[in-house]
């Protein structure tokens, strides 16, 4: 039948994405631990699917820096060091600085300069930030990660550059993977997780990039200090 190969390709692509997202969430939740090894067959059996979309999903996660491929053993969860975390934070800062520079130059929002529409989107981002803050206050890192990733992705979309948004999303996933292996050691995370999402949105709504940079600098410094302290035991 015409179109059947295409439909099969779409189904496999969707399955590939679903498996990649599920495994990413396993890593973020700490159920797949740094250095843990597994094979394509083990994952395929776990999800009850064929090996092909699993292999493709694992290759995708390897390209994102979350897994390492071993030709003979399969795959293992990448182990990030504190130095890695420091480098990721620096890369994140450079990306957000670029976003703030675009705002200074009048390039924030939709290309048609629809300020009302941009304000509506910012309001939606702020609501996402409120959910993230509630999770942070409760010390629920799993819920926080979900809302935090959506918050930054939606905020990035305001700048109209999907490549920039995707790169920042990848960096944020990597930073969370790195941080989670240390944060899971704490029995009570209340008061230790960043909750400045709405403060940042409000600064950007005022186009106050100086304040936004201060907020991000404080966030990064506090996060690095916490991870360094936890890593040192």
Handedness of CA 41, 47, 52, 55 (dihedral sign): negative
Domain boundaries, the chain: 4-77, 82-231
Q: Is the pLDDT reported for residue 111 higher than 90? A: no
Tens-digit pLDDT profile for residues 61-108: 999 889 999 877 799 999 999 999 999 999 999 999 998 988 888 765
Q: Give me the pLDDT at residue 125, please.
A: 94
Q: Give me the pLDDT at residue 2, please.
A: 37
Q: Is the pLDDT reported for residue 51 higher than 80? A: yes
User: For 90, what's the count of Cα atoms within 13 Å in the CB-facing half-sphere?
Assistant: 6
Strands across the sheet containing 74-77: 37-38, 74-77, 67-70
**What's the rounded mean pLDDT across residues 134-154?**
95
Class of domain 4-77: mainly alpha
Q: Is the pLDDT reported for residue 113 higher than 90? A: no
Q: Give me the pLDDT at residue 13, please.
A: 67
Rounded CA separation 107/149 (Å) = 23
Q: Is 100 exposed, middle or buried (0-12, 13-18, 19+ CB in 10 A)?
A: buried
Q: Give me the pLDDT at residue 70, please.
A: 83
Instruction: Give yes or no on whether 4-77 and 82-231 have one common fold.
Output: no
**What's the rounded mean pLDDT across residues 110-116?**
55
**What's the rounded mean pLDDT across residues 18-43?**
91
Sequence length of the chain is 233
Q: Give me the pLDDT at residue 159, please.
A: 81
Please indicate whether residue 70 or residue 56 has the higher confidence score (pLDDT).
Answer: 56
Cα-based angle 118, 197, 204 (whole degrees, multiple of 5): 40
For domain 82-231, the question of CATH label 3.40.50.150 is answered with no
Mean pLDDT for the chain overall: 88
What's the pTM?
0.85
């Amino acid at each position: 039948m015409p179109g059947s190969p295409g439909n099969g390709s779409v189904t496999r692509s969707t399955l590939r994405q679903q498996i990649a997202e599920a495994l990413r969430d396993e890593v973020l939740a700490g159920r797949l631990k740094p250095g843990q090894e597994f094979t394509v067959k083990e994952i395929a059996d776990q999800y009850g699917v064929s090996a092909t979309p699993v292999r493709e999903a694992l290759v995708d996660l390897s390209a994102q820096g979350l897994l390492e491929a071993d030709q003979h053993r399969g795959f293992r969860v990448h182990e990030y060091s504190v130095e890695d975390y420091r480098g990721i934070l620096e890369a994140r800062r450079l990306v957000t600085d670029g976003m703030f520079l675009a705002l200074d130059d009048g390039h924030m929002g939709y290309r048609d300069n629809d300020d009302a529409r941009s304000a509506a989107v910012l309001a939606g981002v702020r609501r996402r930030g409120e959910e993230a803050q509630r999770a942070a206050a409760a010390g629920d890192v799993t819920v926080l990660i979900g809302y935090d990733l959506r918050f930054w992705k939606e905020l990035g979309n305001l700048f109209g550059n999907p490549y920039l948004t995707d790169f920042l999303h990848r960096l944020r996933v990597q930073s969370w993977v790195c941080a989670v292996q240390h944060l899971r050691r704490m029995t009570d995370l209340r008061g230790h997780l960043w909750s400045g999402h709405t403060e940042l949105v409000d600064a950007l709504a005022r186009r106050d990039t100086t304040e936004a940079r201060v907020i991000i600098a404080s966030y990064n410094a506090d996060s690095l200090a916490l991870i360094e302290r936890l890593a040192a035991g």
